[in-house]
Structure 1
Amino acid sequence: QYYLPFDNETYGAGAMSNPDFDSQTLRYGYASLTTPSSIIDFNMDTQEKTVLKETEILGGSFNKDNYESKRIWATAADGTKVPISMVYRKGMKMDGTNPFLMYAYGSYGATIDPYFSSTRLSLLDRGFIFAIAHIRGGQYLGRSWYEDGKLLKKKNTFTDFIDASKHVIAKGYTSAQHLYAQGGSAGGLLMGAVVNLAPKLYNGVIASVPFVDVVTTMLDDTIPLTTGEYDEWGNPNDEQYYQYMKSYSPYDNVKAQYYPNMFVTTGLHDSQVQYFEPAKWVARLRELKTDDNVLFLDINMDAGHGGASGRFEALKEVAKDYAFLLDLEQISK
């Protein structure tokens, strides 16, 4: 018995259809932060790998050997080790000056595998480090990882992300002046909680279709999705859950303080997080924040929860996110 050999510390892999039972070959899919989605045949006798197909990256200039990925571990407030997958161009100096984008989701037991993105190359080639914080609330380290980030343990999700952010600063990958955070939907709730708890830890935050008015939404059982969400957040008709939700709900905890630069997006036809949640959150932030940092609200009048439809329209939304980051870093090329 042996583990399948992989070249990267952090990756995603899964067995594909292998209809021939009596075979020495295992076919599986593979992708990493540096390697596009691939189909590989693995000879279980010789342990040799044959790459049958690797997704082509258009343009002709991509070379995965120009990039490096790794997994590091941050220590959370309660001593738990939190994994972080990261990618960057080889040869970068880790002197605390690199722009760094930290992404996370952290809800519903959803595992964000280290995945390849061709659009992300635009940031990496401009000197950004990109990372996925595998915080509790997801299921990266199993079912208990999810259970420790839901209901009355939801705050672990937020503090894990903050501690992961502090860790990459402490290790010299970046600084608070160059650190950025991004999350969408329930990950947008994460962004809203984080900017209330640690507003000076980030230079900029992207919150996409963010679930930020937790108490109001969870109290409204006329919304089709509400009662089904009780298993994730709790039932606010129970005072214990009500008080806990209220203690972290982004909208309810906005106060007169400094907030980082922020780019908030929503869609008019979003049926999962309705547009007025981020709209009222932004209005409250504008009323109370004490800084002069930018706070943008972008409402796509034709989109729903998943953003714009169509390849080019979706890419335009990515371009807006990147423009926000590049402008803050004063990168014009």
Structure 2
Amino acid sequence: MLVTILALFLFIQLLYLISYKRNFNTKSINDILSFIIFLFLIVLFFFRNEDFGADTQNYLNEFDEYCSNPSGYIGVDYTYKYIFDLINFLMLDSCHISWLIWIWPIFVIGCIFLAITIFRVDKIYIMALFSSFIGIELLTNALRQGFSIAVLLLSFCLFIKRRYFLFLIAVTISFLFHQASILIVSIFIISRCSIRIVVPSIVVGVFLLFATNILDVVPWVIEFKKLIYKYLPYADEDFIIRIISIINTLCLCVLYLIVMIKSHCKDKIINNIVINATFVCCIASIVPYLGFRIIYGVYPLLLLLTYCSIRNYIGRVSSYNYLSLSICINIFISIMWLCGSSHMNKIPFVSIII
């Protein structure tokens, strides 16, 4: 059913892009049809099978343990406690385990909807994000990072609006949900620098870190290397996830650069961020587990920043078309993943949970 909905969504976007090329103004029609299809897609997420998403069952088990003793629950790490406290609060302290499947997409989508409303981003942004493989993962598999990225996206919108105090609060909350958020913020800060500085520095840094012992005198380096080496034997377990995630990010990067080049426009800062952040994702994608966590955090923010760049330098129509093209690319990748994975084919997407 998920593949059917995505295919219909893809068909609508292709019709819009073809009609736009022929000078027909069908944006309003596309908005309505896309919203209807996307709304139906989101409803499906509320009733998805708990086996769809490798970690969903683990989160349900952890939440079950939390509900048995909320005050005494410790969890795998501190983030579980904060997330489950929030989820239980949203459930009005009822701690209904099966409701986790519903609260999850409601919070993530609701928070991102609030963010783009504050920043006056086209609502089609949400459709572009959650039609992607990464967006689907944030709603079905990566609960903690889904919550974290939703709040982090809100924090970026607050930063752009120069609400710096609220930005710091939102970043802190995001960190409470997932530690990777600080790493994501750091990547975007560093990525503002010139690609002539960042890319060579990363290459040299990686070489010195793993090919020599020069940096071992730095206190945290040895522990970091141990962490990386610990995950390497499990490279096969999430190989496909890392490949699909980086393909999604590379496609976004290439699409943005093509749009800007064809329009003879250049946003120097965003260009640096896009190329540098994508390069970091490519390097990170080599590392199991850590790689896709970084990409999951970078992609939604890159999608937002590239959209804003095109809107500011070329215009709203071009930025809207950019998101529509992104939807087409994202859905194509998602369908290939869903149809090509024997594991996904065995699991029905929808399951009514009572």
TM-score by length of 2: 0.27
Higher RCO, 1 vs 2 (CA within 8 Å, ≥6 residues apart):
2
Q: Kindly indicate which of the two structures has a greater share of residues assigned to strand.
A: 1
TM-score by length of 1: 0.28
Q: Kindly indicate which of the two structures has a greater share of residues assigned to helix.
A: 2
